[in-house]
Amino acid sequence: MAECDAYFPDGKPETKALSWSGPTHTPYVTARETLIRSPSASAPSEDPRKGRGSAPEELRPPSESSSPSTAWAMEKQPDTKPVTPNQLKVEIKEIYSAAVKVEALCTERIAYYNSGNVNANGNGNDGQAGAVPSISDEEWHKLVGLHKATLHEFVDFFLAAQHPAISDSRAFRGICLKYNMLQRLWQRVQDLLDLMRRRLPASKEYMTGFVSLSFSLFTVLYEHASHFAPIWSECLGDVARFGMAVEAGCPEERAVWVGASRTWYLRTVDLDPGVGRLHHHCAILARPEPVGQLFHFTKSLCAAKPFAGARESIATLFEPVFAGQMAGRCRELDVAVAKVHGMVMRDHDDEAFGQAVDYYKSRLGESIAKDRLYCGSIGYCMAVANTASLLSYCSESNPIAQALGVEHEQITPFGFEATAISANRAFDRAIAINLVTLKTMLRHDDTSPLLPYLHVWLAFLYSLSQLPADGVPRRIFTAWPWKLLTLALDSASQAPPCALESGEPEFSLWEKGGLPLPEDYAMRGLVWADRYLPDGWFAGDTRDYDERVVEMEWMRRERGRRLTSQKMPHSPPPTPPPSTTHRAPARNNRAVTVHHSAVQALETPEPLGTFEDFARRKRYREDAAAQAERERKEWRRRGGKS
């Protein structure tokens, strides 16, 4: 912070008196004001014909002037001196002093109004408990004006600190972070908007104006103080959500604010994709679409930086689903998807879960037969949710989540986290959901619209295959219909069989000029995705969200190339030594045509045991882990052949 101390060498500057007039700004000059008369045109006219009704010569067109020298002239821009660093330091200190002064007044007034000591006339209510506080129009006008002045001072501070005279951008960031300017700016905006929201509809007029002003100023900061672009874009999304509250009675206006908030949150996700809090915001705005909400909620839980609050907020999705309130408001498949995941999280009884899975299976098969394109459009959303269930939604009790290094907090537990038995039951149910989904999809002849789901799901398994052998239960690889899966990929990808036996080629579009697939963005930010997606893969994509989710022909071809490459698993990884597993499957066939024992796992799955048993056996597998890793590398070197 040495750079920022140069601007405040004596610590925070003392606040000035209220008579401070703020920084001196060059007044705006309009084009009309820059048009002046030439010296000859300003001289008095000698024309005797000019009477009362004739126009002065300085206002006549050039063709009617007495001489060409009286034509309109454009004044040159006056000479200006560049701002020196010392002058800029003084300016920043003055702006900060004024900002501190008005900020203190805002804090004082907001605390006073929140205390409830206000009556309908804006005066004290003499301590009458239980009185509903209200604020007069005069008080609203003063309060809004005070906050407007505060916002302008903060914006001036950020723009002055961003001045080109500050050659070192680290000094600018140091100033803002040292004095916590970003949080203080948003706190002033949020405090007033919260106060106004609680007093709707009486405050609607003032809240509408302040929302518009805040939105405009944060847009200016997003464009000109780009060092903190993720902060400004999230603030814009938050302000738009307050706009939704203002227009709650007008569906058309509210929809406009919903779209604005969603756009800015998605832009923030692009800037910082691993923050689960941002996906939680998107989940709230996805109502009333169950699959969209489930996608963002599970991504919020399984992001690189999980958001613990999503564990409680996801109840707003499941409660109307279990209450039957979603019937007729959305597709039956969407309700079925949300219901099976809700039963896993809440640890419902086996009979209810079995009925929910049967209903989900029938709705999925019916939707694939009747509306395959829709199933393809939500395929990667379902895949993200299903793979999250295999991680037990990043529960601390899940060994895969532990191997991935998921951050855990002291948070409200899910229903299945009560005991080790219920945690193990949740994992078994996650296997069942994924297995039913795969079998239902693969029984159809044309699986090309369903490739986004398979792409995300196989990318998840590929990421797990990069973990140490003793960190992942073997069943996560052996419980799937690998033979049926590879046959479906062969028919849908239009790739020759020999492509499966090539070395390990890079994906064709992971080169200069390539574009990410829609499901690449769906995987981006997940705790396991960095093991699959290359660094800098999204840097060159300038498409908006609505543009990049449109399905194109090149996307189908690219999926086929990725799914048939050795980047993706086409069979379980090589079996560790017999001491580490119950049995070793045969490995005398091609990697693409796995032994029949893998298919038999559909009917007779390998026993997993509780997570405690798995952790206890882990101690006895440490010596065999190194040998298993060497065997895996040798298997890959031979192209997946024995």
Model pLDDT for residues 194-242, shown as the tens digit of each residue: 999 998 888 899 999 999 999 999 999 999 888 889 999 999 999 999 9
**Structural domain includes residue 592:** no
Instruction: Work out the average pLDDT over 248-267.
Output: 90
Instruction: Work out the average pLDDT over 543-572.
Output: 77
Tens of pLDDT along 58-103?
444 454 444 555 556 677 777 777 777 778 888 888 998 999 999 9
Instruction: Work out the average pLDDT over 625-640.
Output: 69
Least confident of 191-200, 276-285, 544-553: 544-553
| Residue 641 pLDDT grade (very low, low, confident, very high; cuts 50, 70, 90) | low
Decide if pLDDT at 302 tops 50.
yes
Q: How buried is residue 317: exposed, middle or buried, by Cβ count under 10 Å (0-12/13-18/19+)?
A: buried
What 3-state DSSP class applies to 330?
Answer: strand
- Do 304 and 202 belong to one domain? no
Domain end (from 563, 588, 623) = 563
pLDDT value at position 639? 66
For the chain, what is the mean pLDDT? 74
Share of the chain above pLDDT 70, in %: 68
pLDDT value at position 256? 92
| Residue 135 pLDDT grade (very low, low, confident, very high; cuts 50, 70, 90) | confident
Decide if pLDDT at 575 tops 90.
no
- Do 211 and 304 belong to one domain? no
Q: Which two tokens stand for residue 31?
A: 């084009």
pLDDT value at position 336? 92
- Do 399 and 448 belong to one domain? yes
Decide if pLDDT at 292 tops 80.
yes
Decide if pLDDT at 14 tops 60.
no
pLDDT value at position 101? 92
Distances from the Cα of 471 to the Cα of 179, 575, 580, 607, 625, angstroms: 44, 14, 12, 17, 10
pLDDT value at position 541? 81
Q: Between 597 and 435, whose confidence is greater?
A: 435
pLDDT value at position 382? 93
The count of structural domains within the chain is 2
Q: Between 515 and 514, whose confidence is greater?
A: 515
pLDDT value at position 428? 87
Using the 8-state DSSP alphabet, how is residue 205 labeled? H
Least confident of 408-422, 436-450, 554-568: 408-422
Q: Between 360 and 4, whose confidence is greater?
A: 360
Return the closest-CA partner of residue 387 out of 298, 477, 283: 298
**Distance, CA of 466 to CA of 100 (rounded, Å):** 52
**Distance, CA of 136 to CA of 66 (rounded, Å):** 62
**Structural domain includes residue 27:** no
Q: How buried is residue 405: exposed, middle or buried, by Cβ count under 10 Å (0-12/13-18/19+)?
A: exposed
pLDDT value at position 571? 65
- Do 291 and 251 belong to one domain? no
Least confident of 257-261, 451-455, 586-590: 586-590
**Structural domain includes residue 68:** no
pLDDT value at position 554? 83
Q: Between 607 and 480, whose confidence is greater?
A: 480
- Do 205 and 351 belong to one domain? no
- Do 248 and 331 belong to one domain? no
| Residue 183 pLDDT grade (very low, low, confident, very high; cuts 50, 70, 90) | very high
**Structural domain includes residue 153:** yes
- Do 338 and 194 belong to one domain? no
pLDDT value at position 608? 38
pLDDT value at position 23? 40
pLDDT value at position 136? 87
- Do 189 and 322 belong to one domain? no
**Structural domain includes residue 78:** no
| Residue 602 pLDDT grade (very low, low, confident, very high; cuts 50, 70, 90) | very low
Domain end (from 563, 592, 608) = 563
Q: How far is CA 156 from the centre of its chain?
A: 28
Tens of pLDDT along 469-503?
777 777 888 888 888 887 777 765 554 433 333 33
The half-sphere exposure of 150 on its side-chain side, counting CA atoms within 13 A, is 28
User: Is residue 621 a contact partner of residue 580, using CB atoms and an 8 Å limit?
Assistant: yes
| Residue 10 pLDDT grade (very low, low, confident, very high; cuts 50, 70, 90) | very low
- Cβ count near 331 (within 10 Å): 17
pLDDT value at position 434? 92
- Do 325 and 444 belong to one domain? yes
**Structural domain includes residue 584:** no
pLDDT value at position 279? 94
**Structural domain includes residue 415:** yes
**Distance, CA of 216 to CA of 210 (rounded, Å):** 10
| Residue 587 pLDDT grade (very low, low, confident, very high; cuts 50, 70, 90) | very low
Query: Dihedral angle at the C-alpha atoms of 178, 179, 180, 185, nearest 10 degrees?
Result: -150
Question: Which residues span the domain enclosing 231?
Answer: 85-124+134-260
Q: Tokens 């996805």 label which residue? A: 286
**Structural domain includes residue 541:** yes
Domain end (from 534, 563, 592) = 563
**Distance, CA of 436 to CA of 361 (rounded, Å):** 7
Q: Tokens 């804006």 label which residue? A: 122
- Do 142 and 216 belong to one domain? yes
- Do 330 and 452 belong to one domain? yes
pLDDT value at position 193? 95
User: Is residue 290 a contact partner of residue 338, using CB atoms and an 8 Å limit?
Assistant: yes
Decide if pLDDT at 317 tops 50.
yes
Least confident of 54-63, 389-398, 409-418: 54-63
- Do 166 and 308 belong to one domain? no
